Every structure is written in C-alpha cells, then in structure tokens.
Chain A
Amino acid sequence: GNSVTQMEGPVTLSEEAFLTINCTYTATGYPSLFWYVQYPGEGLQLLLKATKADDKGSNKGFEATYRKETTSFHLEKGSVQVSDSAVYFCALAGTASKLTFGTGTRLQVTL
C-alpha cells in the first residue's frame, strides 16, 4: 500500500535559518504529492502541491520538487520566520483522492 515517511521532529531553528523537512513516499501508480501545515488549534491548510514528476510546488517562500527517481518531496524554505512555527505534513493522494499522511514534523522557530 501507499506510505509516507517524513523526518521526525521537533525541528528547532533560529529566525532566517534555512529549512529542510525530508519526505519520501512509496506508492503504486502516479500519486499527487502535497504539503499541509497545521497551526496550533487549527485544521490543516494546503501549503503546496505537485501532481507529476519534476513539478515544483511553491507558496509563501516554501518549495518542494516531486522527484520520482528518489521518491521524495522534500520541503524547503530559504529563511524561516517565527510565524512559520507549526506542524508540517507530507501527504500523497492515490486513488479516489485518498490522502496518506506522514507523521508530521513540528517546526519551532525562535528569535
């Protein structure tokens, strides 16, 4: 079946540091890949997506590239802010848009 593996957190960074959160997946067929973000006490919000190999999703300074050869979709941001502190979920969508999530990575950004 489908599965998503993402790095365990928490990840603690100083403001303006570079962020990478690793995500790899196992899937049959051609899944779409997503990053969702969950701020404290809120639901998940779509951060970015990529629907085919070599696509790059980007939003709010975050980027991730769909790498079929390495089955990866790592999230990056060049300069994080305190307001980026949240839990980040990598997910893939297989048939019937069923989302399979990774375990989530908590990011804490300090001044």
Chain B
Amino acid sequence: DTAVSQTPKYLVTQMGNDKSIKCEQNLGHDTMYWYKQDSKKFLKIMFSYNNKELIINETVPNRFSPKSPDKAHLNLHINSLELGDSAVYFCASSPGSGNNQPQHFGDGTRLSIL
C-alpha cells in the first residue's frame, strides 16, 4: 500500500537514449511534483501538476516532458539523455497546491547515464 510509488528504482542507460520514469500516488491528492537531487544531495523542483494541469515549470531543458494522464499519475519522459542528467529523481504529491500542504515523496529513481 505504498503511497507514492515510482518505477523503475534504478535506470542505467547510454547517452542519447530516451527513457521514462513513472509515478503513481494512491493518496487521492490533487497535486504532484518532480524533483531532481544531484550528487551533492541538492534538491530542486522541476515540475508541478494540479489536477492534470501544469502549475510549476522551472528552468528545465525541454528534453524533459512531464505527462499527467490523470491526477494520480505523473510520468517524466526524458529525450536524448546527457551525462548531466545523472541524478536521483523524486516524485511527490500533496493534497492541494496551498503552501501549508506537506508533500509525500516516493523512494526515488536513480538514473545513471553511461
């Protein structure tokens, strides 16, 4: 009964490939997020969706494209992978988009580019 689940947990691939990471939450939350954590543990938001609508889009290369087929899912597709994309990607969700709403995180997807 994992609240926020991401797949895969590990992803090893070559530069130039296209890959997707899936995220699902069973908490009934309206808002979902993608974060990137670099090798120094620094966390930065990439995207946020509220009820399938994009509400936050940080300065992220357009090789990254989020897709929310419904409010329980937010997938991340990455085209033409580069070495600098190596990181841990975390999905999160919250009940709504108000600033007092705590976010629930998945366990992360470790992406390694060869």
A interface residues, Cβ below 8 angstroms from B: 31-32, 34, 36, 38, 41-46, 49, 51, 87, 89, 93-101, 103-104, 106
Contacts and interface: CB of A to CB of B under 8 A. Distances in A.
Given A96-B55, A98-B45, A103-B42, A46 B104 contact: yes
B38 to A, nearest CB: 10
A51 B2 CA distance: 27
Contacts of A95: 99
9 tightest Cβ-Cβ pairs between the two chains A and B: A43-B105, A93-B99, A51-B100, A101-B43, A44-B105, A32-B100, A104-B41, A46-B102, A43-B107
Interface residues on B, range: 20 to 34
Given A45-B105, A96-B48, A31 B99 contact: yes
The A interface, classified by DSSP as helix, strand, loop or mixed, is strand
- Counting chain B CB atoms within 10 Å of each CB, the highest count among A42, A89, A93 belongs to A93
